[in-house]
Amino acid sequence: MKLRNWVLLAILAGFGACTYEFLSGLHTEVYHGRVVDEQTGLPLADAVVTVIWHRSSYLGLEAGPAEFLNAQEAVTDSNGQFSLRASSGLDWNPFTLRGLVPWIVVYQPGYEPLMQDTRRRQGFETNEEFVRAFKYGVTVKLRKLRKEEITRYVSREVVGSVDAPFERIPNLFRAINRHRLTSGLSPYTVETPQKGNLQ
């Protein structure tokens, strides 16, 4: 095959990959389910369900650190039910790759949040299985924190390694602040939008 044909084939393959990445960013999925107290089975109203997408810069085949791409939130109703349409959104940077699995956190002040770091306690072996459960409809059973654990999960680290700006996930940060106040800690305050703090 002539060099010209190889170059044309490489260009078409690159265009196809970019088109796939673009169209994947437009795809919206519904995450839904119910959040209940693990011990009583009673619904938990006002629990926050947050889906955060990330991307990584890459050079060759090496991926760089994850950075924020997009986020969506939902708050449970009086029956503990939630439903949200989530999408990674478009990533116009040709030098980044969109993460295939979003970070999901279910947060209720006074309870152990459900997220990738704590998913095994609820029977999810892999991140993919965890995310899939939310797409098919999941019952999340949150465990009430014991008195000695009450100061856990009071920082923005519940959003994972991706530094999501507070204005994109305000419900989650309000819930974290409610938990901080009941734990005797001062709430995050708004200083500048770039710092990601919240009152």
pLDDT tens-place string over residues 100-120:
788 899 999 999 999 888 888
Q: How far apart are CA 102 and CA 97, in angstroms?
A: 13
Q: How many CB atoms lie within 10 A of CB 186?
A: 8
Residue whose C-alpha is closest to residue 142's, from 44, 37, 42: 37
Query: What tokens were used for 117?
Result: 């770091």
Cα–chain center distance at 30: 14
- Look at residue 133 and give its three-state secondary structure: helix
Q: CB of 81 within 8 A of CB of 140?
A: no
Which structural domains are found in the chain, ordered by start? 28-195 (2.60.40.1120)
pTM: 0.76
- The Cα-based distances of 175 to 19, 23, 49, 182, 190 in angstroms read 38, 33, 11, 11, 15
**Cβ-contact 6, 58 below 8 angstroms:** no
Are the C-beta atoms of residues 157 and 115 closer than 8 Å to each other? no
Cβ within 8 Å of residue 21, ≥6 positions away = 91, 97, 98
Which residues, 6 or more positions from 7, have their beta carbon under 8 angstroms from its beta carbon? none
Query: One digit per residue, pLDDT tens: the chain, 199 residues?
Result: 566 654 455 454 444 444 444 444 445 789 999 999 999 999 999 999 999 988 776 655 555 567 788 899 999 999 999 999 887 765 555 655 566 788 899 999 999 999 888 888 888 898 899 999 999 999 999 999 998 998 888 887 777 766 788 888 999 999 999 999 988 899 887 544 444 444 4
